[in-house]
Structure 1
């Protein structure tokens, strides 16, 4: 058994697509129109056959309450592994990404938290570099 698809609730699929593809660097795996919304999945270009991220509309009231509560408490909804959080932090800041937490050492990892423009906080994580 393995994880095939995981989802993040978004308030606007097109805006989310722009952020996750144009800013973060994911690529579209599937985009299937299903009435008002699409089945819209993304993958990492480094693992195109890996886990898919579904940009799922947050139309259900529970989804909106979930997102709002997590964000209000500063809790990321998802964590993305990167090679170097400090470099990714700088790159994304240059692209206008808003961070709620600058790179912070937390034991064996460095984390940073940003806003995805769609109501979610995302955590970036990498191992602490030697000598850091």
Structure 2
């Protein structure tokens, strides 16, 4: 009995971790992660000047408001709340972008599979060429 004959012409794959890692490396998820990283960076580059401007305005407010009103605690809370809202909006939009891009690539891969049809092996292609 020939070794590997009962595996139907294919040798068995023993190292599953390497093959799954290679599939992840070659798949479209790497492209999606690059796009998400770029969108996150662009959002943060947009929001950093906005946050700086907000904090500068709050510093001006703390100097203009009289100390007798004792609003420093409220202003600190508002600054933290604005910071939380900005970072939460960036996180939510990043998750939404990931959802959209993953579905876009999945749909594109399905459309590509439907248009390509069944794949032929090299031997079948040679046989078809010799027959015609």
Structure whose alpha-carbon radius of gyration is higher: 2
Name the structure, 1 or 2, with higher relative contact order (CA <8 Å, separation 6+): 2
Between Structure 1 and Structure 2, the one with more helix by share is 2
- For the aligned pair, the TM-score class normalised by the smaller chain equals under 0.3
Q: TM-score, normalised by structure 1?
A: 0.18
Q: TM-score, normalised by structure 2?
A: 0.18
Between Structure 1 and Structure 2, the one with more strand by share is 1
